[in-house]
Amino acid sequence: NAGVTQTPKFQVLKTGQSMTLQCAQDMNHNSMYWYRQDPGMGLRLIYYSASEGTTDKGEVPNGYNVSRLNKREFSLRLESAAPSQTSVYFCASSVGVWGASNEQYFGPGTRLTVT
Amino acid sequence: GNSVTQMEGPVTLSEEAFLTINCTYTATGYPSLFWYVQYPGEGLQLLLKATKADDKGSNKGFEATYRKETTSFHLEKGSVQVSDSAVYFCALSDPSGTYKYIFGTGTRLKVLA
């Protein structure tokens, strides 16, 4: 039981390059999330998927796209990377979206640097 | 809109000292409240939670009480250990808010032996 896994762990991109961050969970959770963590700003929600087949924008969606590939997998794509997207990215999952079921389990993170 | 405000760190304490990390929130509905902990180089782990007013969450000696009248969810521990050194995040989940999942900026705790 690996919980939430993310790949890659580290990535360096040049401005304008594209890449996809992968996330998978093996806990049969319905809901999945992508956050970015920046110094002094806590975690900010980029996108979330309440259930398989649905996705919704969070607080900072610009410059990103997501795909809920199936119940286990939720990917985050940067189409044209910018230095402002240098950050640590966390994927998380939960049983459900609201209330006590919203206890979220986090992956280990992807550290992305855009030069 | 929804927001979470945490006390700024870092907080430096000696082992066995009493810990309080303040957290206040603003929410349009009736949020669930959480404390997460992040150890160096790792993702966040849930520490405790409370889903309605006056609920007390507790885990590993940490406690926090959901106070609707003061919109607060302060984290406390009676006797900290060196192993408690980490960053602590207060968070809320509110389905009626524009931004439904809000984390505080985090408070770094350093415990000295």
Q: pLDDT digits over A19-49, tens only?
A: 999 999 999 999 999 999 998 788 999 999 9
CA angle A25, A91, A59 (to 5 degrees): 140
Q: Chain A contacts of B53, Cβ < 8 Å?
A: none
| CA A24/CA A71 separation, integer angstroms | 9
Amino acid letter, residue A62: N
| pLDDT for res A35 | 95
pLDDT tens per residue, range B87-107: 999 999 877 665 567 899 999
Does residue A98 sit at the B interface (CB-CB below 8 Å)?
yes
Angstrom CA distances, A26 to A3, A49, B47, stand at 6, 16, 21
Q: Which residue has the tokens 């669930």?
A: B32
Token couple for B28: 């349009």
Helix (H) or strand (E) holding B79: none
* Residue A68, C-beta contacts closer than 8 angstroms, at least 6 positions apart: A32, A49, A52, A53, A54, A55, A74
Residues 78-97 of B with CB under 8 A from A: 89, 91, 93, 95
Contact B32, B7 (CB under 8 A): no
pLDDT tens per residue, range B33-79: 999 999 988 889 999 999 889 999 999 999 999 999 999 999 999 99
| CA A48/CA A56 separation, integer angstroms | 5
Q: Would the CB atoms of B103 and A40 count as touching at under 8 Å? A: no
Token couple for A97: 């979206």
Low-confidence ranges of chain A (pLDDT < 50): none
Token couple for A53: 């087949």
| pLDDT for res B99 | 59
CA distance A32 to chain B (A): 12
